[in-house]
Amino acid sequence: MGSETSPRLPFIDFSDVDQNTNALDWDLTKSRVHQALEEFGCFEASFANISPELQTSIFDSLQQLFDLPLQTKLKNRSPKPFHGYVGRYPMVPLYESMGIDDAPVLEKAESVTRILWPEGNPEFSTTIQEFSEKLSKLDQMVRRMVLESLGLEKYMVEHMGSTNYLLRVMKYRGPETNESELGLNAHTDKNIVTILHQNQVDGLEVQTKSGDWIKIQPSSPNSFIVMIGDSFYAWTNGRLHSPYHRVMMSGEKARYSLGLFSIPKAGYVIKAPEEVVDERHPLLFKPFDHVDFLQFYYTEAGQQSQSALKTYCGV
């Protein structure tokens, strides 16, 4: 009898993909991206634009950040839900995270740095900014490929200009023997696209459409997990999949990870283009503002909904 192998996410190499210099590679990669996002809602990407030295620097910066006193970390506040410092919830005591709005903009990274290190820490802000800026290029390539695949090129300028970036940095403490191994509960992201990157401690799991959980074990330190959020799922009228995912911890080592989130700007109305609505694909969601949706998600009704998006604006 042959042994049953666990499913893996599709692996897509973006290292030499350039729309302007190699149209054939662009089109082949675009086809694979579209297929992966339809089936899984995510894939593993190899992206060589971020050097090993920058990867080392970013994880050194994360360790330095989370080693700060709690009172200092609490200074990272935001009026937007889940954008500032998030401490250890009773349900997920292993998890803490911090958000940096507009991280690809140096002035924004510096402003957060000054809050946390009044004496200054230029290496932290430049590392955060450079990493975020380089990784945003992958986000933009993926979104361009999606729009081209769906024949929505005429919306390209509007769509690409409708988002800002949030860099969310995360630490998961290794569980002690009597603690739950849940690092972060199962959820879908609420934004457009999420790009996740981790140190060498695994824990991310993604649920397939059939309900099985895939344990994500990146192929190399250069790997990134690209994932669709609810807002892009709604904008494409369900043509892409927004997957549930969670973090399960084991062992003693801390897990550090980063997520670059492309997020709709406040006031921008997410509305599926008419080209993706037809008899086979009836409209799934009414137009909505992402910030309003996010505020609903963190209410008791939003948290209790099996699908907060359907509850909030489903047709």
pTM for the model stands at 0.94
Q: What is the pLDDT of residue 5?
A: 61
Pairing of the two strands 245-248 and 182-187: antiparallel
**Domain 11-280 class?**
mainly beta
Question: CA separation (Å) from 116 to 107, 222, 242?
Answer: 15, 29, 34
- Three-class SS state of 116: helix
Q: pLDDT digit string (tens) for 85-106?
A: 998 777 888 999 999 999 999 9
Query: Which residue shows structure tokens 């300028």?
Result: 157
Pairing of the two strands 42-46 and 11-13: parallel
Domain positions in the chain = 11-280
Q: pLDDT digit string (tens) for 31-88?
A: 999 999 999 999 999 998 999 999 999 999 999 999 999 999 999 988 877 788 998 7
Dig out the tokens for 290 from the structure: 């992402």
**For residue 73, what are the contacts with CB-CB under 8 A and spacing of at least 6?**
65, 66, 85, 87, 96, 98, 116
Q: How many beta carbons lie within 10 A of that of residue 165, not counting itself?
A: 22
Q: What is the pLDDT of residue 2?
A: 44
Span 218-224, mean pLDDT? 89
**For residue 121, what are the contacts with CB-CB under 8 A and spacing of at least 6?**
113
